[in-house]
A and B are shown apart, each in its own frame.
Chain A
Amino acid sequence: AQSVTQLDSQVPVFEEAPVELRCNYSSSVSVYLFWYVQYPNQGLQLLLKYLSGSTLVKGINGFEAEFNKSQTSFHLRKPSVHISDTAEYFCAVASNQFYFGTGTSLTVIP
């Protein structure tokens, strides 16, 4: 079975600073990769996804992620965070099934 590891459970960062949320998955077979965001008291929303093609994927709200097949990683980045980015972020992998990571709580400090 696939496993998805989000190495940081909590990430505090100052406003306008860059951030990277890390995600690694276990299987090297063909996969689709996703990042979802859950704002406080809301449902999950798709940030971005990698299906094929360019390894650098741009999503909503200025986020981007890079697929690294050799390192089986799909880290999420934003060059300058805003207070409104405070949320729970989930990495997900789809191969023969759909698996979520345990989530990273991003807190943006003013």
Chain B
Amino acid sequence: SQTIHQWPATLVQPVGSPLSLECTVEGTSNPNLYWYRQAAGRGLQLLFYSVGIGQISSEVPQNLSASRPQDRQFILSSKKLLLSDSGFYLCVGLQGRYTEAFFGQGTRLTVV
């Protein structure tokens, strides 16, 4: 079955520092991959999605970026974190005809 390894589980970073969150897929190939963010008291907001290597679509403008250097690797980055970047970040995979999603465990990011 498909799994996503996402790390780290928690992260505390100072304002202005860089960020790199990574998720790695196992058990399938060529999935659609998504980065979502859940800010405190709010729902899941789609940040980026990727349908293949090097293909990234952004849903909302922000100081974050995403990359997909390999089929099973999806990276979320920032050059300089803002306080408003704090939240729960979730990597999601979707295989085939979108019949089921599989999830990373999430990263709780606190920017101080």
Q: Report A24-45 CB contacts with B as 1/0, cut-off 8 Å.
A: 0000000010100000000110
Which residues of B lie under 8 Å from residue A99 when comparing CB positions?
46
Which residues of A lie under 8 Å from residue B105 when comparing CB positions?
43
Nearest chain B residue, comparing its CB with the CB of A98: B94
Of the candidate stretches B13-21, B61-69, B72-80, B95-103, the one touching chain A is: B95-103
B44 interface hit (Cβ, 8 Å): yes
Which residues of A lie under 8 Å from residue B46 when comparing CB positions?
99-100
| Listed residue (B44, B92, B103, B104) with the most chain A CB atoms within 10 angstroms of its CB | B44
| Listed residue (A32, A43, A103) with the most chain B CB atoms within 10 angstroms of its CB | A43
A32 and B43 in contact, given A98-B92, A98-B94 (Cβ under 8 angstroms) = no
Taking the closest CB of chain B, its distance from the CB of A67, in whole angstroms, is 15
Whether B103 lies near A43 (C-beta < 8 A) is yes
Whether A49 lies near B100 (C-beta < 8 A) is yes
A90 and B99 in contact, given A98-B34, A98-B92, A98-B94 (Cβ under 8 angstroms) = no
B32 interface hit (Cβ, 8 Å): yes
Q: Bin chain A's interface residue count.
A: 10 to 19
Taking the closest CB of chain B, its distance from the CB of A100, in whole angstroms, is 4
Whether B44 lies near A100 (C-beta < 8 A) is yes
Whether B36 lies near A100 (C-beta < 8 A) is yes
B49 interface hit (Cβ, 8 Å): yes
Cα separation A101 to B32 with both chains bound (whole Å):
19
Whether A51 lies near B99 (C-beta < 8 A) is yes
Whether B98 lies near A95 (C-beta < 8 A) is yes
Q: Report A84-110 CB contacts with B as 1/0, cut-off 8 Å.
A: 000000101011011111110000000
A92 and B49 in contact, given A100-B36, A102-B44, A103-B43 (Cβ under 8 angstroms) = no
Nearest chain A residue, comparing its CB with the CB of B98: A94
Whether B94 lies near A94 (C-beta < 8 A) is yes
Cα separation A97 to B34 with both chains bound (whole Å):
10
Whether B101 lies near A43 (C-beta < 8 A) is no
Which residues of A lie under 8 Å from residue B100 when comparing CB positions?
46, 49
